[in-house]
Amino acid sequence: MGAIGATYVLLILFMLLADAAYMVTGETRHTISPEWTQDHPVLAKVVNSPIVAAMAKQEIRYSIVLSLISCTMTALLSLVVAIPVGYLLSRHRFFGRNLLDAILDIPIVLPPLVVGLSLLILFRYFPAAIREAVVYEIPAVILAQFAVACAFAVRTMRATFDQIDARREQVALTLGCSRVQAFGLVVLPESMRGVLTAGTLAWARALGEFGPLLIFAGATRNKTEVLSTTVFLELSIGNLEAAVAVSLIMVAAAVFVLIVARLWGTRSLTL
């Protein structure tokens, strides 16, 4: 069992190491003068690295900013939906509950391109003013990310509420609290670690989203371009170095968010 698990872990590590090694050994299109290179060999190697060359492009800097903004908004919107829906599925039994549960799994099992195509078809039935304001614009980026990431957040919040003892909430109700008060004062504080996990998962899923964005929001540079579509655009013009550099930026951002979430979650439990 350990060998099987180690094989998968090593596969992930070797993929990341391969990207990092390519950044060190690969060539880049960003060049500097030979005279400056001879006078400052160490700085020349840093300046001439693929990551620095990628960060020098205004389009990639724009995609980084848009990715941070859109992923954060997607994570917040996902929590707004996931907390009440997860609580509803965990605590209540009602007609159509299993059907609702199955519907919430559709964005997870559908091919990403189908999600983007479905959003595009859906907005054909909206008024032209709304359609022009959303489709192939920045709101389309957030909506495409939200359509998939929210499903993962809902699953996480439902599992969180399933693990919380319902008797404490019942005691709060018998002591005179309303359902809203019992939820806000008892259930929600106990679920904060799950909320943090759900938000982190939604943020990371939104960062890696590609298919729905390509169909519904497009990949227009300096407009709807995010990091995932930047990798596609750089590969399409044969700039492998920039594509790998952006991939490493995405990996670093995802790892940073996960580490912060783990540390924050542990601290909240100890306090």
- The total number of structural domains in the chain stands at 1
C-alpha–C-alpha distance, residues 236 and 222, integer Å: 17
Considering only CA atoms, which of 153, 136, 130 is closest in space to residue 74? Answer: 153
C-alpha–C-alpha distance, residues 89 and 49, integer Å: 51
Match 């998962």 to its residue by tokens. 201
Range of the domain at 171: 51-270
The yes-or-no verdict on residue 46 having pLDDT over 80 is: no
C-alpha–C-alpha distance, residues 101 and 74, integer Å: 21
Q: Is residue 212 part of a domain?
A: yes
The yes-or-no verdict on residue 63 having pLDDT over 50 is: yes
Match 């729905």 to its residue by tokens. 212
C-alpha–C-alpha distance, residues 248 and 269, integer Å: 32
Mean pLDDT of 156-163: 89
The yes-or-no verdict on residue 5 having pLDDT over 70 is: yes
Average pLDDT value over all residues in the chain: 82
Match 């939906």 to its residue by tokens. 81
Q: Is residue 10 part of a domain?
A: no
Share of the chain above pLDDT 90, in %: 25
Query: What pLDDT digit, counting tens, does each position of 9-34 carry?
Result: 888 888 888 877 776 665 544 444 44
Output the pLDDT for position 90. Answer: 86
Q: Is residue 208 part of a domain?
A: yes
pTM of the shown model? 0.82
C-alpha–C-alpha distance, residues 240 and 244, integer Å: 6
C-alpha–C-alpha distance, residues 80 and 152, integer Å: 13
Considering only CA atoms, which of 145, 141, 129 is closest in space to residue 219? Answer: 141
- Could you write out the DSSP letters of every residue in 218-242? ---TTTT--HHHHHHHHHHTT-HHH
Match 């990403």 to its residue by tokens. 112
Q: Is residue 24 part of a domain?
A: no
- Residue 244 maps to which CATH number? 1.10.3720.10
Mean pLDDT of 132-147: 92
Q: Is residue 199 part of a domain?
A: yes
Q: Is residue 21 part of a domain?
A: no
The yes-or-no verdict on residue 271 having pLDDT over 60 is: no
Q: Please, are residues 244 and 230 in contact by the beta-carbon 8 Å criterion?
A: no
- Count of helices and strands (H, E) across the chain: 17, 0
Q: Is residue 259 part of a domain?
A: yes
Q: Please, are residues 103 and 89 in contact by the beta-carbon 8 Å criterion?
A: no
C-alpha–C-alpha distance, residues 172 and 179, integer Å: 9
List CB contacts of 177: < 8 A, sequence separation 6 or more: 185, 186
Considering only CA atoms, which of 40, 46, 169, 155 is closest in space to residue 101? Answer: 155
